[in-house]
Chains A and B, each alone.
Chain A
Amino acid sequence: MSIWEYANPKKFMQTSAWALPWLAGLSAACLVVGLIWGYFFTPDDYKQGSTVKIIYLHVPSAMMAINAWVMMLVTSLVWLIRRHHVSALAAKAAAPVGLTFTAIALVTGAFWGQPMWGTWWAWDPRLTSFLILTLFYLGYIALWQAIEDPDTAADLTSVLCIVGSVFALLSRYAVNFWNQGLHQGASLSLDKEENVADVFWFPLLVCIAGFVLLFLTLVLVRTRTEIRARRLQALLSRERLA
């Protein structure tokens, strides 16, 4: 029993069909509990008032926006090294989800920044690198769309994902150099005494768990769709040959 068994699409479809309702249910439960807890049963911050509550959407989506790219990097590497089609399709499936999370993080950040910083947008390093991440996602998705042959597309997007990761990291540090930050530091570091207060922290953790599960659910659904689309394609071309 190893993880590579799931490289077999049939096995993947079986297991994911079994896991999907659980993941979806758990994700919905976490999100409902976390968001209701966060929105209705936590106090307002003494400085930020009720705007602090946007943290329950902003932080988890920003985390998942980055994690989605990391997952795409890993699956791209798996595809390039071991040539498992499911892996390439999972990377393809994750990209639009990651892009959506990036957009959510940017939009919620703007909603929070307007009353707090007095501006919708600032050229702060974190904000800027997220904008650049959006561009990377767009380029990656556009490259998948542009190439017809699925294997060629998988190869090229994987190479792009690897090179893009290096440059995304470089950009992250380059923008640090370029402008001083307005954005507050990390609110969840494990090695720091000073995090957000516990009242906000526990519902936030539940929301993060909900977002992770939501991401997994969406990626599984989309990967299953891609596998089915690929099977359909194979059937159609076989029919044409016959």
Chain B
Amino acid sequence: MMALLSRDLRLAFRAGGGFGLGLAFFLLVAVLVPLGVGPEAQTLAKIAPGILWVGALLACLLSLDRIFALDFEDGSLDLLATAPIPLEAVVAIKALAHWLVTGLALTLVAPVLAVLMMLPAGGYVWLVASLALGTPALSVIGAFGAALTVGVKRGGLLLSLLVLPLYVPTLIFGAEVVKRGAMGMEVATPLLLLAGITAGSVALLPFASAAAIRVNLR
């Protein structure tokens, strides 16, 4: 399993593209929104939690189709499916690798972009906390979408259509945490609900994804 993880990470860093793309996209969102909305600090501060979360979510979406597509094309997914470790674990590891290169990276750069978005001082901690808690769910749900569409040629758009509705609860609770944090209100409720969604998705969705991959490999 460690071997698979390090292989996926190495591929993500070396194959060029994949890794930096999501971060660059996130940066662009944080630059373009103030250009479109106007530079008033108050307006930006008000929309910052939502924009940052939507930006992170879309940046996550960009690299989803790479989770399984390349392995499916060159046949390594068939090998992984017949490997001694269960396919569910393979899916979980691949989602973890995806999270390490996108979710974790997004979480780490988010405070910097929050400066551009004029996020009020109280929100920074909760922005990092909510992204750290919520982005694993984005990766696992995304891996499920990628597993469904892995057999479809040019499935990227279909993948977004399938995955975006599934992202709704995560987005709502994640953005709510930051919004409340920025206003100095208590954040425990949405934070716990967000953690619940992540825990549930991480525990259950690999089974659904593995089932979908088995169907696609049939």
Contacts and interface: CB of A to CB of B under 8 A. Distances in A.
B168 A152 contact: no
A167 B166 contact: yes
A174 interface: yes
Interface string A141-173: 011001100001001100110111001101100
A170 B215 contact: no
B172 A160 contact: no
Contact of B165 (A139, A143, A147, A155): A139
Contacts of A164: 165-166
A19 interface: no
A159 B165 contact: no
Interface in A159-201: 159-160, 162-164, 167-168, 170-171, 174-175, 177-178
A147 B176 CA distance: 37
A132 B169 CA distance: 11
Contacts of A171: 165, 168-169, 172
A25 to B, nearest CB: 37
A174 B148 CA distance: 25
A117 B164 CA distance: 29
A163 B168 contact: no
Contact of B212 (A135, A159, A174): A159
A136 interface: yes
Interface string B97-138: 000000000000000000000000000000000000000000
A175 B172 contact: yes
A171 B164 CA distance: 12
B80 interface: no
Main secondary structure of the interface of B (DSSP, over half): helix
A138 interface: yes
Interface stretch (B38-46, B59-67, B150-158): B150-158
A171 B141 CA distance: 14
B156 to A, nearest CB: 11
A152 B151 CA distance: 10
B148 A159 contact: yes
A176 to B, nearest CB: 10
A177 B162 contact: no
Contact of A167 (B149, B165, B190): B165
B205 interface: yes
A151 B121 CA distance: 54
Contact of A174 (B155, B173, B208, B218): B173
Interface of A: 132, 135-136, 138-139, 142-143, 146-147, 152, 155-156, 159-160, 162-164, 167-168, 170-171, 174-175, 177-178
Interface of B: 144, 148-149, 151-152, 155, 158, 161-162, 164-166, 168-169, 172-173, 176, 190, 193, 197, 205, 208, 211-212, 215-216, 218
